[in-house]
Amino acid sequence: MSELNVGKLADDLQALVSDAEELLRATADSAGEKAAEARARAEESLRAVRGRLSSVEQDLRGKARVVGDYVEDNPWKAIAVVGGIALVVGLLMGRK
């Protein structure tokens, strides 16, 4: 389940980067020198973000897979941990 969420988040971020690149290309002819410099910096930043996003996506997918495997191997421990966290959150919320 968490692998699906990580995949959706990565897909959404990839779409955002692609849309920003498309916007930069569409406005390439409609501005002066300062805008061209800003566009060049933005394109460079988008390339860097795309590279980092790819590595983060791979890392998150790996971690999600490890967590999923642990939960499958130790379901009762996972239930106990989630129950403990829910108890603490409930106690904290009840104090206010």
Domain ranges in the chain? 2-94
Task: State mean pLDDT over 22-33.
Answer: 70
Q: How confident is the model at residue 84 (pLDDT cuts 50, 70, 90)?
A: very high
Question: What whole-number percentage of the chain has pLDDT above 90?
Answer: 11
Asked if 21 contacts 39 with a C-beta cutoff of 8 angstroms, the reply is no
pTM value is 0.43
Reply yes or no on whether the pLDDT at 4 is more than 60: no
User: What are 80's two structure tokens?
Assistant: 């106990």
| 31 Ramachandran zone, left/alpha/beta (phi>0; psi -120 to 50) | beta
Q: Which residue has the higher pLDDT, 65 or 45?
A: 65
Per-chain mean pLDDT for the chain: 78
Reply yes or no on whether the pLDDT at 1 is more than 50: no
Reply yes or no on whether the pLDDT at 8 is more than 50: yes
Residue 6 CB neighbours (<10 A): 19
Question: Which residue has 């239930």 as its token pair?
Answer: 79
Reply yes or no on whether the pLDDT at 42 is more than 50: yes
Interior/surface letters 27-57, b for 16+ CB within 10 angstroms, e for the rest: eeeeeeeeeeeebeeeeeebeeeeeebeeeb
